[in-house]
Homo-oligomer: A and B are copies of this chain.
Amino acid sequence: MNALTNTREQIIETAHQLMLQRGYNGFSYKDISKPLGVKNAAIHYHFPCKADLVRELIRENHELLKQMTGEFMAYGGEARPQLEGLFAFTVQQCGCGRPICIIGALAVDYEDLPEDIKAANEAFISDSTSWLSRVLELGREQGELEFNGDPEIKAMLIMASIQGLRQIARFHGTGVFAKAFDQIRIDLGMNT
């Protein structure tokens, strides 16, 4: 990795952070360039317009998800460690300056988004829900988890609750995570 690619990486990293802290409309090119010690125009060289930059963020976020969920087999096909991984991931993200999730961030700025970014986020939601759905289904089959209803819907509901939790945590503190995750464990019969 040479100096050139390094700047590009740094731009993405900084923008990612800003995006999950302030939303699409809440940060500017200056917010990125200043901490990096470069000028406005340098960002435009790498990403001509803001949508190009955000497109890249979603792609990176999606990669992170694939990488995370791809480790499924490493747990020997068990469902519970996968769920614990999701909980840990959430806390870790909030702890490293990414308080809200990208779905929530983009939902607020929905009307300003180009169509392809909407589509990319839609795919991100579908993929993460599908993954959790498979975990839930397998867990129920294997007797690790207990719940009624369609795994797909249950998965969406859990994903939605975690997304909402991250936003509530901003106002009520990150202490809500431990309590809420305990409740999810109870709801899924994981405390037995």
Copies of this chain, whole number: 2
- Whether A153 lies near B179 (C-beta < 8 A) is yes
Query: CB within 8 A of A109: which of B22, B110, B149?
Result: B22
- Whether A108 lies near B104 (C-beta < 8 A) is yes
Given contacts A109-B23, A154-B183, A171-B118, contact A160 B149 (CB under 8 A): no
A59 CB–B CB distance under 8 Å: no
- Whether B165 lies near A160 (C-beta < 8 A) is yes
A interface SS class: helix
- With a cutoff of 8 Å between Cβ atoms, the chain B residues found around residue A109 in the complex are 22-23, 26, 108
- Whether A183 lies near B153 (C-beta < 8 A) is yes
Instruction: State the Cβ distance, A25 to closest chain B Cβ, in Å.
Output: 4
Instruction: State the Cβ distance, A122 to closest chain B Cβ, in Å.
Output: 5
Query: CB within 8 A of A161: which of B111, B148, B160, B172?
Result: B160
A93 CB–B CB distance under 8 Å: no
A9 CB–B CB distance under 8 Å: no
1/0 per residue A84-127: CB within 8 Å of B? 00000000000000011001110111111000001001100110
Instruction: Give 6 closest A-B pairs by Cβ, nearest first.
Output: A160-B164, A107-B167, A161-B161, A163-B164, A164-B164, A23-B108
Q: A-side interface residues toward B, CB under 8 Å?
A: 21-23, 25-26, 99-100, 103-105, 107-112, 118, 121-122, 125-126, 147-150, 153-154, 156-168, 170-172, 176, 179-180, 182-184, 186-187
Additional pairs, 8, CB under 8 Å, beyond known A26-B111, A104-B104, A157-B161: A26-B109, A105-B108, A107-B168, A118-B171, A126-B172, A156-B179, A160-B165, A163-B167
